Amino acid sequence: MTITDTAAAPRTEARVAHHRTYLMCRPDHFTVSYRINPWMHPDTPTDTALALRQWDELYRVFVGLGHDVELIEQDAELPDMVYAANGGFTLDGIAYSARFAHAERAAEGPLYAAWFGAHGFSVADAAQINEGEGDFLLAGDVILAGSGFRSTVDSQDELAAVTGREVIGLTLVDPRFYHLDTALVVLDPLPEEGSAPTIAYLPAAFDEASRAVLEQRFPDAILVSDDDAVWLGLNAISDGLNVVIAARATGFEAQLRERGYNPIGVDLSELLRGGGGVKCCTLELRR
Ligand code: ARG
């Protein structure tokens, strides 16, 4: 007779890739001309051509994995529009619009909302300050929501009302990790009914109460080190098997392999100068 202890071991069963549809914005007018996060240094010139080449590699990786990528055109006056994750949050055909914390990005909200309206979504106009999927991440049945720097706690109630989902608020405390998607990634976008998805996060990016919530809800989580998080390693996109990450986050890459994922490294060094990585450039469309 053999007794198998499954309770203690993290899940390592075969991972399955799920087809995804993303929205991206080609960085035709990318630059850093103001400073709204600690990564941005407007006095150092940027290389738009390099940003374009790096972005193009990310785009090709998604297409190569069989995902659909739709595009929104960048407004020449809005350099941060390339971070499409902030354009809103979509679920079940509804797009909850973004309402930016900083005046420099305010005009992006209506542009993204118009795009959603023209591409099959019913748009729920936000009254509360929120920066879309930068701070809202779907984790199985629930939505994880970051606040502390950009999106407000009030936006969490609004999002819950719009989507009908439970929204779990998490407080961010480190200015380098000012959006939830810089500190936490959901690795199984569609976990089995009733089971919690695997997530990875940087514990130090959250206050104590939020860390306790994460530990309780996601006991299997991958805890990522500061050395990987500083390359925005957690600013990643997973289809359940393939995880597109910053190439320099080598520790996280090894952790992912250990858990049965297929990490794919890309170099977005130029876009990192605006404070964004893989996930910031990518918004998931759930129609
Ligand atoms: N410069 C942009 C800002 O500070 C970067 C946004 C990054 N996006 C993200 N989803 N984390 O708003």
Report DSSP letters for 130-193, one per residue.
B-GGGTEEEETTEEEEEESSSS-HHHHHHHHHHH-S-EEEEEB--GGG-SGGGTEEES-SS-ST
DSSP helix/strand/coil, 209: helix
ipTM score? 0.97
Establish if 15 belongs to a structural domain: no
Tell me the CA distances in angstroms from 108 to 93, 113, 121, 286, one per residue in order. 20, 9, 17, 20
Establish if 246 belongs to a structural domain: yes
Specify whether the CB–CB gap between 83 and 37 falls below 8 A: no
Establish if 113 belongs to a structural domain: yes
**150 within ligand 1 shell (Cβ under 6 A):** no
pLDDT of residue 10: 55
pLDDT in tens, the chain (287 residues): 444 444 444 555 689 999 999 999 999 999 999 999 999 999 999 999 999 999 999 999 999 999 999 999 999 999 999 999 999 999 999 999 999 999 999 999 999 999 999 999 999 999 999 999 999 999 999 999 999 999 999 999 999 999 999 999 999 999 999 999 999 999 997 777 778 899 999 999 999 999 999 999 999 999 999 999 999 999 999 999 999 999 999 999 999 999 999 999 999 999 999 999 999 999 999 99
For residue 210, the domain's CATH number is 3.75.10.10
Establish if 220 belongs to a structural domain: yes
**Tokens at residue 117, please?**
């309206």
Distance CA 75, CA 77 (A): 5
Please give the tally of structural domains in the chain. Answer: 1
- Mutation test residue for ligand 1: of 83, 99, 284, the one with most atoms within 8 Å of CB: 83
**276 within ligand 1 shell (Cβ under 6 A):** yes
- Mutation test residue for ligand 1: of 80, 100, 108, 268, the one with most atoms within 8 Å of CB: 80
pLDDT of residue 23: 98
Q: What is the extent of the structural domain holding 188?
A: 21-284
207's CB contacts (< 8 A; 6+ apart) are 148, 171, 172, 173
**Residues belonging to the active site:** 179, 280
**80 within ligand 1 shell (Cβ under 6 A):** yes
Q: How many helices (H) and strands (E) does the chain have?
A: 7, 15
Strand-strand pairing, 242-246 and 262-266:
parallel
Establish if 13 belongs to a structural domain: no
Establish if 95 belongs to a structural domain: yes
Ligand 1 centroid from CA 275, angstroms: 6
pLDDT of residue 13: 64
> How many Cβ atoms from other residues are within 10 Å of residue 39's Cβ?
19
Establish if 230 belongs to a structural domain: yes
Establish if 12 belongs to a structural domain: no
